[in-house]
Structure 1
């Protein structure tokens, strides 16, 4: 059960601000760290239920500046591909217990760090040419699944989008549109699976200002804070929380 006490808000408010900073200033890839942090103190289903409406609020705030700057054919391909991934995530959630999702969130958290560091160091090489269209649908499906179970669809989507050599604005616009749609897809199964409660709704209302504050800070930090410093902090948080979640899930 979700207890809206001082301890909850002491953890949740900074986590949501951090997610907003990621969305507003450094792409949305690290925003799912909020889920990993909340899963340390909540059942995974509740952690996902608390964060989804807040991520959707951030999506709405991010849509306007990028409106119409996406490539609809690319986004549509990945959005349609995401549908079966979301369905598989819902199927698994209905049958697995919380420990399975603790391990999944933990593994995805650590895999995200490996992915980011591997790309930066040149250990992970992306395709030099644009990947075929069916890969867009396939990576969309993986993004739909990982987004459902941990709000972490960024790396699978990036495999395809980065191969297309899009400009910075077009890449961001497609990402915003794709994950806005995926989050909408997730909302209905989350509701049917009991991941939204009166307590999560109350938490959303209380945390919404922190989501908007984080997004505003992210826009400002984009011009002031080195990207490397932000992501180093992200990696430390994800390694720590991911390791703890895997340990808790297995033991």
Structure 2
């Protein structure tokens, strides 16, 4: 079989971008910074339409989810999941309904703004404090950001920042935070299969492309998990905040640039 003909990887640059995108998502799935996953669709969008890139990545994400669930078994916050998952389902429904009228650039801008506001809030709140104080749990905020996480996850696999906006200020133990995040997005990604299939986004080429990238996904997921399990909270959280800030600025720039160009 000619894999170049069966997949989207008809040249070396496209293949390398695919490998890099999946490697970064794997580190994210392993727990090393949820912000890394935001980069995958924009990277692949250099060589294919964003929705096509998202469809390619979803089977890979599902395989990563299975490995992450095993790697982080036993670590989770039940209350957080019960608060945010129903809202995420609503967000997926909204995303599936709005996909034909929502531009990729608008989604990038939305996710970037949410992420940047999150980091600014943390930075301002930390001024004059010697240590992080856990935020109070709030059902309304959990619902709002759970819905936003479901929506942005559906349209761009970019649900990490909205989830983190609510979950990270709770200052959970890094293992509990990561395990809860793994379960949350494993459920979200599994649900996304239904509308993606209904929209005809899965093709033979996308599935073969995902299969080619699967070994990279599995290795990088375990690498990420191994690193996080050896991290202290005072290292883990600043690293996460820094990565979210970098990606937020990139997404805002890309979103504004695309919208201005599209409207020109």
What band does the TM-score fall into relative to the shorter chain?
Answer: 0.7 to 0.9
CA contact (8 A) 1:22 1:28 kept: yes
1:14-33 correspondence to structure 2 within 5 Å = 14-33=20-39
Deviations 1:59-114 (A, max 9, x none): 11111232233232321221111111101100111x227xx1134225524653x2
Among 78, 85, 91, the alignment partner of 2:91 is 85
TM-score (norm: length of structure 1): 0.82
Distance 1:133 1:159, change over 3 A: same
Which segments of 5 or more consecutive residues in structure 2 lack a partner in the other structure? 1-6
User: Residue 257 of structure 2 corresponds to which residue in structure 1?
Assistant: 247
Deviations 1:32-62 (A, max 9, x none): 2111211222111101111112122111111
Q: Between Structure 1 and Structure 2, whose CA radius of gyration is higher?
A: 2
- Range with bigger deviation, 47-56 or 154-163: 154-163
Task: For 2:118 and 2:73, locate their aligned partners in 1 and report how far apart those are by CA, in whole Å.
Answer: 27
1:1-251 correspondence to structure 2 within 5 Å = 3-6=8-11, 7-93=13-99, 95-96=100-101, 100-109=103-112, 111-112=114-115, 114-115=116-117, 117-118=119-120, 121-122=123-124, 129-219=135-225, 221-222=227-228, 239-240=249-250, 243-244=253-254, 246-251=256-261
User: Residue 3 of structure 2 corresponds to which residue in structure 1?
Assistant: none
Count of residues paired in the alignment: 245
Query: How far did residue 135 of structure 1 move?
Result: 2.5
2:8 counterpart SS class: coil
Query: How far did residue 128 of structure 1 move?
Result: 5.6
Task: For 1:124 and 1:142, locate their aligned partners in 2 and report how far apart those are by CA, in whole Å.
Answer: 25
Tell me the C-alpha RMSD between the 2 structures.
Answer: 3.1
Task: For 1:195 and 1:58, locate their aligned partners in 2 and report how far apart those are by CA, in whole Å.
Answer: 20
Task: For 2:43 and 2:10, locate their aligned partners in 1 and report how far apart those are by CA, in whole Å.
Answer: 16
1:122 counterpart SS class: helix
1:204 counterpart SS class: helix
- Range with bigger deviation, 122-131 or 185-194: 122-131
User: Residue 4 of structure 2 corresponds to which residue in structure 1?
Assistant: none
TM-score (norm: length of structure 2): 0.78
